[in-house]
Amino acid sequence: MTEKQQVVVRFPPSPTGYLHIGGARTAIFNWLFAQKTGGKFILRIEDTDAERSTEESIRGILESLEWLGITWDEGPYFQSHFIKDHLAAAQKLLDSGHAYKCFCTKETLEKKREEARRKKTSLQYDGTCRNLTPEEVAQRQAAGIPYTIRLKVPRGEGFVSFEDIVYGIIEKRYEDIEDFVIVRSNGQPLYVLSNTVDDIRDGITHVIRGQDGLANTPKQILIYRALGAPIPKFAHMSLTLDPKKAKISKRTHGELVAVQFYKEHGFLPWAFVNYLALLGWSTPDSREIFSKEELIEAFSLEGINRANAIFDVRKDDPKFFTDPKAISINTHYLRNLPVEEIAPYVKTELEKAGIWDPAYEAEKQAWFFHTIDLIRSRFHVTTDFVTAGRAYFADDYPIEAKPLKKNILKHKGLKQWFPELADRLERLPEFTLETTEQVIRDMAEELEIKAGILINGVRTAVTGQPKGPGIFDVLITIGQKRVVERLRKAVALFEASSPL
């Protein structure tokens, strides 16, 4: 019995910008596949484009992966450290006759292409240097003529064929592949060579990458073959498009497609991984919520869809700042995970807003957990805790303009009623759901007004918000002292505002 080969996958981003959702999705699919199969996941940084690669981008990519909880078993390896290997492979290809030196100058090639364009014939390299004798090569080299190295693509009938796990059988005729360059005349290996050599060195068994890699695959297979290396399996993933069917890109969509943006805008990392996993992958029952274990269990490369995925980027929608499904999945986790799991994210938001109190991790922890649980039922993202939820954690909270007008300023009587209510609440020996309700209802009755007028006014005054959890829950959570102070202070709202 032969031992089953261990799966080895990789994620090799080019560090030319932040980690965007397409890249994150690729990383997630590779990671899931490795987790599922007990395989190895290697992180590689393809930094050979020195002009466009930046340290900052490398840091950003690593941080985003860490935030998502995508862990790797090896790496990060840097492609630029392996250029010697890439060139050694090119030499091996030269030695075995699978590649040749091409001395054609840029000008000659351009002239020939121009000619071909005019005559409407093939633009491919015409193979001028394919059959130079060793003496001719030696002569040209002795004369110091610069050369590129080209792969000798098989000629005649026939094609490169492979079975992509997502797209099925793909064939490319030899005659449609020119003898492509693998090393530039300045000695730099081309990406198609470097990427392949790295995959061979790392023992990659499955190349799971974006559909844009598909154009390179036949060429890469020719390199594998020429080097006598085993050919991995390929799974290319569909594109991620915006609702107008434009490809999601840094250039068009800016920060809205950066993983970092979602971290900063209150997404829970697992919720975002769960959402991204559904971009172009699904189970037959179209299930949407998966714990980590469930997602690993359910994942398969066969479940990757051929159809392009849609990411509903929204810039100017007042209701959603991003894809509604992403929001709804985040909302699900935010409202349903155990409070202890949400608490660290709330802490981060409070710290960022400068309103974190260390007592929330000590004597006030019970209150902190209770408050999170109470207010999260209306929240979608963790940043809501410091926007809509600010009044629970700080005394300087804004009062929204609309409810201020509708629930406070419109009812001029509140100017007298607030201080009176504050006095009555202050006198309560016990500040409970029942006692606070009693006070408010009694007072409304005495004044012969609807309790709702007091309730809405109080809610707006003490939280700044028109809506929220049950008002008596709100009052006892904010606490007697703070409620009393806020009601007394609310009187000033009438002075500060211009007459209606």
Residue 21: helix, strand or coil by DSSP? Answer: helix
Based on CB atoms, which residue is closest to ligand GLU, 51 or 396?
51
State in angstroms the smallest separation of the CB of 14 from ligand GLU. 4
Q: Which of 48, 148, 194, 195 binds ligand GLU (CB under 6 A)?
A: 195
Q: What angle do CA 375, 460, 444 make, to 5 degrees?
A: 110
Minimum CB separation from ligand GLU for residue 46, in Å? Answer: 4
Q: Does 269 bind ligand GLU (CB under 6 A)?
A: no
Task: State the catalytic residue, choosing from 36, 233, 247, 250.
Answer: 250
CA gap 451, 454 in Å, rounded: 5
Q: Kindly state whether residue 218 participates in binding ligand GLU, applying the rule CB under 6 A.
A: no
Residue from 7, 8, 9, 12 that binds ligand GLU (CB under 6 A)?
A: 12
Count of Cβ atoms closer than 10 Å to residue 228 Cβ: 10
- Residue 62 is which amino acid? L
Among 8-16, 283-291, 312-320, 399-407, the segment contacting ligand GLU (CB under 6 A): 8-16
Degrees, nearest 5: CA angle 41-162-28: 25
Q: Which of 25, 209, 263, 486 binds ligand GLU (CB under 6 A)?
A: 209
Q: Does 46 bind ligand GLU (CB under 6 A)?
A: yes
Is 182 strand, coil or helix? strand
Cis peptide before 419 (omega within 30 of 0): no
List the interface residues with ligand GLU, window 164-193 (CB under 6 A): none
Site for ligand GLU in 467-496 (CB under 6 A): none
To ligand GLU, the closest distance from the beta carbon of 9 in angstroms equals 10
- For residue 77, give the 3-state DSSP assignment: strand
What is the closest distance, in whole angstroms, from the C-beta atom of residue 182 to ligand GLU in the complex? 16
State the DSSP code for 120: T
Residue nearest to ligand GLU (CB): 209
Q: Helix and strand tally (H, E) in the chain? A: 22, 12
Is 250 noted as a catalytic residue in this protein?
Answer: yes
Residue 234 CB, nearest distance to ligand GLU (Å)? 10
13 lines the binding site for ligand GLU (CB under 6 A):
yes
**For ligand GLU, which stretch binds (CB under 6 A), given 11-19, 89-97, 377-385, 388-396?**
11-19
Q: Please check whether residue 344 is in contact with residue 443, taking contact to mean a CB–CB distance below 8 angstroms.
A: no
- State residue 355 phi and psi, 5-degree precision: -125, 25
Asked if 14 interacts with ligand GLU (CB under 6 A), we say: yes
CA atoms within 13 A on the CB side of 116: 12
Residue 76, preceding peptide bond in cis (omega within 30° of 0): yes
* Contact in structure between 273 and 28 (CB atoms under 8 Å): yes
Helix (H, G, I), strand (E, B) or coil at 135: helix
Instruction: Specify the residue, 239 or 453, whose C-beta has the smaller distance to ligand GLU.
Output: 239
State yes or no: residue 20 binds ligand GLU (CB under 6 A). Answer: no
Q: Per rule CB under 6 A, is residue 236 in the interface with ligand GLU?
A: no
Binding site residues, ligand GLU, CB under 6 A: 12-14, 46, 195, 209, 213
Catalytic sites, residue numbers: 250
